[in-house]
Structures are given as structure tokens and as C-alpha cells.
């Protein structure tokens, strides 16, 4: 069997003014997909390893990924799509392609185009209209009619934070094999639920998601059901298709796929009032005061504060300053903390460039934040000392700076990257256990922080990933939709 693999993946936040460009992406082309692109947190890696394990020939096209951000530049998307199709066309000149298995996200949005997965799939189907095609999706995929039309099988992550990306790729490959082994056409069942859910209300280890995902796993044990997925949509993208989708795949029985999807959808809707923040949470000012109290009175350390409204891994800019400004209003209290406060961090390329020019140990005047998010961010003048510099960090080769400002140590990044990376702080020589308060631009804490936090507080701060969805404007999203319309009725 010759199987085409690849994908273009991005979670696009329409509230973020950044247009995501080529410098924000990491791209693996052709044979690079099979060498440099085999990273364990890619679903495409699970796909490739599984296909190789069966002795099937893997035909690599292109894998392109970026940290969640604003809409993707139209010209860039068209260029990446053209490259993908080029590798497909080249492969077809050598021998037929028997099947397709892709690792996508499901919430890729492109300026002047909108939802892009359907566009990519349509272009692939023009060349290969009849071969089986399965995809692995992120749990926060926004399912469109085109995705259902052009795919034979769909399966999504079942964990948030997402720790089963590889396993989902394995599942997608097994769906593809089922299409060959049974000789039956796979059938997709789909129910769209008019509901938006903030990411921090849907952790897979907490109820009701824990039980709802367990119901999907149980459904997959039934004869004929090959996959059952809850795809939550992406709440920070205003688009007409946004909302929750239940997607099932059966081995040749459309009725079974449809009935199973409806059953799971009814269970999901019945739990709509039970989705809530499980973490301790307050507005920005109260979060700071609670953290200071925890340190100074309860002697807890480290206390983590999530700057959830400006979470780059949810597509926010990473330079909103609402929480930072609130901290500065309590400078006296922060100055008296037993250790500096660690803030990780801000995406601020001009500030990082200035620190790089100055060098470690130097003191200089910079501004922090407010370059991109002009609604929730201001350029805050700061006289800082450069403590540590790192060049070309990580997959996206970002320059980093650790600076001291008053009784704070602040991480600055030269590129739009996430702050949940367990290697980011060690690269700067920072151990969060040495700090009494650690502020991170995240929603729910990643495992590396959950494991060491004496206490975790989520600030419902303002930014492009504002967790209070009811405060945001969704002119394109179909209404009524819960919770924007709290008293609405719905059934399937």
C-alpha cells in the first residue's frame, strides 16, 4: 500500500490582530517529514509509525505547523497548499496512491478564505477522488460540511491538555486500514451542537468531560463503531460553523454512525450547565491579592497565576498587559515578597532585540507589551537589567531574554511561542521552585507546572483568549448558541 501523509495545522484566533506568516511556521517538506518531522506530539508521527509498522509505503507530502495565533496569511496558505499538491502530483507520476492519512488541526482559518481544511481536502480530492482518506484532528476542531464530505474517517484527541496526539494518529491510521480490510466504505455520523465552551471548562480529567469522553471510548467498543469523538470547536474564532460536534465512524453502517452520534450528543447537551471552571479563579486584581496572601500568610510556594486571557497556546497575542498593570498597582506588596515574582512571559520582539544588543548584565530602558493587542495591552516603560539571553530557542528558533524589573523576573520572547513548554524556563537557567509566585500566560497549567504548584489560581484576565465568552462579540457565529443564549432549547 502507498499512503500519502502530511498536513497543514493551525488553531486560528480571530480575535487576535496578528496575521500568521511564514516566520511563525515550522515546515517539513518531502523526506524531511520522515526525519525531522517525527515529533512525538504530532499526530502525523503516530500515523507514519503505524503505517511503517505494517510494512506499507509512506509517501510524505508536507507537514506545516505553527503555535496558535491570528488568521493565517492568505498568500502563505496558498503557497503551502501548492507545495502539498506538488508532492502529491510527483508521487502520482511514480505509482498510484492507495490511500491518504492526514494530521490536521480542524480550526485553521485563513484571511479572505475562512475555514481552510475543507479547501485543502477538496484540492486533494480533485486528484484522488476515490481512495480512502482519514484524518486525525485536534479536540478543538471546528467541523465543517466540507470536512465531512471529503473524509472517509475522522478521529479527534481525547485529552485536554492534549497528550494523546500520537495515539490519535495511530487511530486515524487504523481507520484507514479498516477501509481496506473490510472492503466497506466507512460511514461518518455527525451532530452539530450549538454550544461554545472555554478551554478551561473542558479539561478531560474533570467532569463532565471525563464521563463524556469515557462514553466515547465505550461506544468504540461496540460492534461496527470504529471511532467516536467530541470535537469542541475553537471558542476564540468567530465563524458560522463554530460549536461542538460529535463525530462517529462506523464500518459500513450509516444508521449506526448516526444513531451513536445522536446518543452522545444528547448526553453532551444534558451536561451543558455543568461545564465550569474547576480551578480557583478570580479577576486579575483578586488573583494577585489571593496569591500574595497565600505566600505571606499561608506560606505556600510556589503559587501559580494563569494569565488566561492572554494565552498564546489559545491563539492570544502574548503581549496583553491587563494583569501586568494590575500587578504594578501593588508594587509595594510585590516588593516585599520573599523572592522575586516570576512572569513568563511576554512576546515582545523589539524588547528582546534591545536586550540582545545590550547584552547580559546591562541595564536599559525598554517597553514591555502592547505592540499587538492595543485593546488589552499598553506599552509599559520599564528600566530592566538583562539577567540571561538565549538565541534560537526551540523548534521556532526564538530569541529569549530574562530581565529583572523591580522585584520581578520577566521572560521575553522574540517570537510568538507558548509559555507551557517545560524546557523554556530551564533554557534560561530558571527553576520555578525558586520563586514564591509564578505567573504564566496559560489557561489550565501544563503538567510540568501542575506537578509543582502549591496552589494554582486562574486570573480571568482580558485578552484575545478571554475565558468569559459571554463578554465577547460573535457577529458571524450562528445564533442561538449556548451560553450566549442561556435559555435556548435544542434537541437532535
The answer as to whether 404 is a domain residue is yes
Task: Tell whether the model's pLDDT for residue 456 goes beyond 90.
Answer: yes
Residue pLDDT, tens place only, 353-402: 999 999 999 999 999 999 999 999 999 999 999 999 999 999 899 999 99
Measured CA to CA, the distance from residue 213 to residue 39 in angstroms comes to 25
What's the rounded mean pLDDT across residues 27-45? 95
180 plus 326 within the same structural domain? no
Of 271, 292, 312, the position where a domain reaches its end is 271
SS3 46: helix
Query: Strand 2-9 relative to strand 99-103: parallel, antiparallel, unpaired?
Result: parallel
Q: Specify the pLDDT at position 182.
A: 86
| Count of Cβ atoms closer than 10 Å to residue 64 Cβ | 25
**Number of folded domains that form the chain:** 2
- Say if residue 461's pLDDT is above 90: yes
SS3 state of residue 309: helix
What is the structure's pLDDT at 279?
Answer: 86
Strands 99-103 and 57-66 come out as: unpaired
- The reply to whether 58 and 207 lie within a common domain is yes
Query: Has residue 256 been placed in a domain?
Result: yes
User: Tens digit of pLDDT for each residue in 147-192?
Assistant: 999 999 999 999 998 999 999 999 999 999 999 998 889 999 999 9
pLDDT tops 90 at residue 117: yes
What number of other Cβ atoms are within 10 A of residue 338's Cβ? 12
- Using pLDDT thresholds of 50, 70 and 90, give the confidence band for residue 143: very high
Tell which of 239, 271, 303 closes a domain: 271
Give yes or no: residues 214 and 239 share one domain: yes
What pLDDT, on the 0 to 100 scale, is given for residue 415? 96
- Does residue 74 share a domain with residue 11? yes
Range of the domain at 128: 2-271
* Percent of the chain scoring above 90 in pLDDT: 95
Q: In terms of domains, do 208 and 294 share one?
A: no
How much is the pLDDT for 419? Answer: 97
Q: Which pLDDT belongs to residue 446?
A: 87
Query: For residue 317, what pLDDT band results from cuts at 50, 70 and 90?
Result: very high
Indicate whether 218 and 285 sit together in one domain: no
- DSSP codes, 331-387: HHHHHTSSSPEEEEEEE-HHHHHHHHHH-TT-EEEEEES-SS-TTT---EEEEEEEE
Q: Which residues make Cβ contacts (< 8 Å) with residue 457, sequence separation at least 6?
A: 279, 280, 281, 282, 287, 290, 291, 294, 303, 304, 305, 306
Statement to judge: residues 70 and 217 lie in one domain: yes
Q: What is the mean pLDDT of the chain?
A: 96
Amino acid at each position: 500500500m502507498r499512503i500519502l501523509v502530511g498536513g497543514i495545522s493551525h488553531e486560528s484566533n480571530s480575535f487576535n490582530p496578528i496575521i500568521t506568516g511564514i516566520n511563525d511556521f515550522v515546515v517539513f517538506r518531502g523526506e524531511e517529514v520522515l526525519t525531522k518531522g517525527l515529533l512525538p506530539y504530532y499526530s502525523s508521527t503516530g500515523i507514519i509509525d503505524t503505517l511503517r509498522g505494517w510494512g506499507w509505503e509512506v509517501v510524505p507530502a508536507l507537514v506545516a505547523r505553527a503555535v496558535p495565533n491570528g488568521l493565517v496569511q492568505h498568500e502563505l496558505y496558498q503557497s503551502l497548499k501548492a507545495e502539498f499538491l506538488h508532492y502529491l502530483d510527483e508521487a502520482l507520476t511514480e505509482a498510484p496512491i492507495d490511500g491518504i492519512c492526514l494530521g490536521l488541526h480542524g480550526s485553521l482559518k485563513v484571511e479572505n478564505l475562512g475555514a481552510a481544511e475543507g479547501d485543502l481536502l477538496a484540492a486533494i480530492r480533485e486528484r484522488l477522488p476515490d481512495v480512502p482518506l482519514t484524518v486525525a484532528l485536534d479536540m478543538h476542531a471546528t467541523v465543517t460540511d466540507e470536512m465531512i464530505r471529503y473524509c472517509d474517517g475522522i478521529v479527534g484527541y481525547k485529552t485536554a491538555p492534549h497528550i494523546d496526539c500520537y495515539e490519535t494518529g495511530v487511530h486515524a491510521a487504523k481507520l484507514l486500514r479498516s477501509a481496506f480490510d473490510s472492503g466497506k466504505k466507512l460511514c461518518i455520523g455527525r451532530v452539530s451542537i450549538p454550544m461554545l465552551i472555554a478551554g478551561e471548562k473542558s479539561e478531560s480529567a474533570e467532569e463532565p468531560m471525563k464521563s463524556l469522553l469515557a462514553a466515547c471510548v465505550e461506544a468504540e467498543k461496540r460492534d461496527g463503531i470504529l471511532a467516536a469523538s467530541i470535537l469542541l470547536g475553537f471558542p476564540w474564532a468567530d465563524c458560522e460553523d463554530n460549536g461542538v460536534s460529535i463525530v462517529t465512524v462506523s464500518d459500513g453502517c450509516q444508521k449506526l454512525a448516526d444513531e451513536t452520534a445522536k446518543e452522545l450528543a444528547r448526553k453532551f447537551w444534558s451536561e451543558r450547565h455543568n461545564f465550569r471552571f474547576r480551578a480557583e479563579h478570580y479577576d486579575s486584581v483578586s488573583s494577585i491579592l489571593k496569591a500574595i496572601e497565600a505566600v505571606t500568610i499561608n506560606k505556600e510556594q510556589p503559587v501559580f497565576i494563569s494569565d488566561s486571557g492572554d494565552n498564546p497556546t489559545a491563539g492570544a497575542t502574548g503581549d496583553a498587559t491587563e494583569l501586568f498593570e494590575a500587578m504594578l498597582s501593588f508594587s509595594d506588596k510585590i516588593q516585599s515578597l520573599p523572592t522575586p515574582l516570576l512572569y513568563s512571559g511576554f512576546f515582545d520582539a523589539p524588547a528582546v532585540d534591545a536586550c540582545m544588543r545590550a547584552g547580559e548584565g546591562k541595564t536599559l530602558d525598554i517597553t514591555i507589551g502592547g505592540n499587538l493587542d492595543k485593546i488589552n495591552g499598553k506599552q509599559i516603560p520599564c528600566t530592566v537589567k538583562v539577567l540571561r539571553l538565549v538565541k534560537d530557542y526551540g523548534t521556532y528558533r526564538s530569541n529569549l531574554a530574562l530581565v529583572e524589573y523591580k522585584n520581578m523576573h520577566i521572560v521575553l520572547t522574540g517570537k510568538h511561542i507558548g509559555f507551557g513548554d517545560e524546557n523554556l524556563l530551564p533554557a534560561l537557567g530558571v527553576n520555578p521552585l525558586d520563586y514564591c509566585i509564578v505567573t504564566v500566560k496559560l489557561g489550565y497549567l501544563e503538567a510540568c507546572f501542575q506537578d509543582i504548584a502549591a496552589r494554582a489560581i486562574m486570573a480571568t484576565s482580558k485578552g484575545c483568549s478571554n475565558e468569559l465568552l459571554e463578554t465577547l462579540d460573535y457577529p458571524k457565529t450562528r445564533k442561538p448558541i449556548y451560553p450566549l443564549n442561556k435559555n435556548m432549547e435544542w434537541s437532535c
